[in-house]
Amino acid sequence: QSALTQPASVSGSPGQSITISCTGTSSDVGNYNLVSWYQQHPDKAPKLMIYEDNKRPSGVSNRFSGSKSGNTASLTISGLQAEDEADYYCCSYSASSTYWLFGGGTTLTVL
């Protein structure tokens, strides 16, 4: 089972907005409203930022938003801040026997 496809890296300047894409198939991203996004700082555990495609857990900044179109989910971060520099992973439930599938990860650099 292949991982979900994410760009290896994205970058943006403070105050700008960036979008990270996550492409799957009709068996995972496109078939369930179960895409989640995680932020991971170096040597730290991942942190849930988005669940159910576009919902934010309590305590997560509203600068983070999720969306989906067809088999591609997206994470948008607006008003970039230095603290947003981290790795970001998408995850989806998969109808195939893998069950929970992660993307390969995207490194966000705040210039």
Write down how long the chain is: 111
Asked whether position 91 contacts another protein by CB under 8 A, the answer is yes
Asked whether position 66 contacts another protein by CB under 8 A, the answer is no
Residues 6+ apart with CB under 8 A from 106: 6, 7, 8, 9, 10, 20, 87, 88, 89
SS3 content of the chain, % helix, strand, coil (to 5): 5, 50, 50
Number of C-beta neighbours around residue 22 at 10 A: 28
Asked whether position 64 contacts another protein by CB under 8 A, the answer is no
Give the residue with the Cβ less far from another protein, 19 or 98: 98
Asked whether position 93 contacts another protein by CB under 8 A, the answer is yes
Give the HSE-up count for residue 26: Cα atoms under 13 Å, Cβ half-sphere: 0
Asked whether position 101 contacts another protein by CB under 8 A, the answer is yes
Give the residue with the Cβ less far from another protein, 14 or 44: 44
Q: What is the smallest separation between the CB atom of 21 and another protein, expressed in angstroms?
A: 16
Give the residue with the Cβ less far from another protein, 84 or 106: 106
Number of residues that bind another protein (CB under 8 A): 31
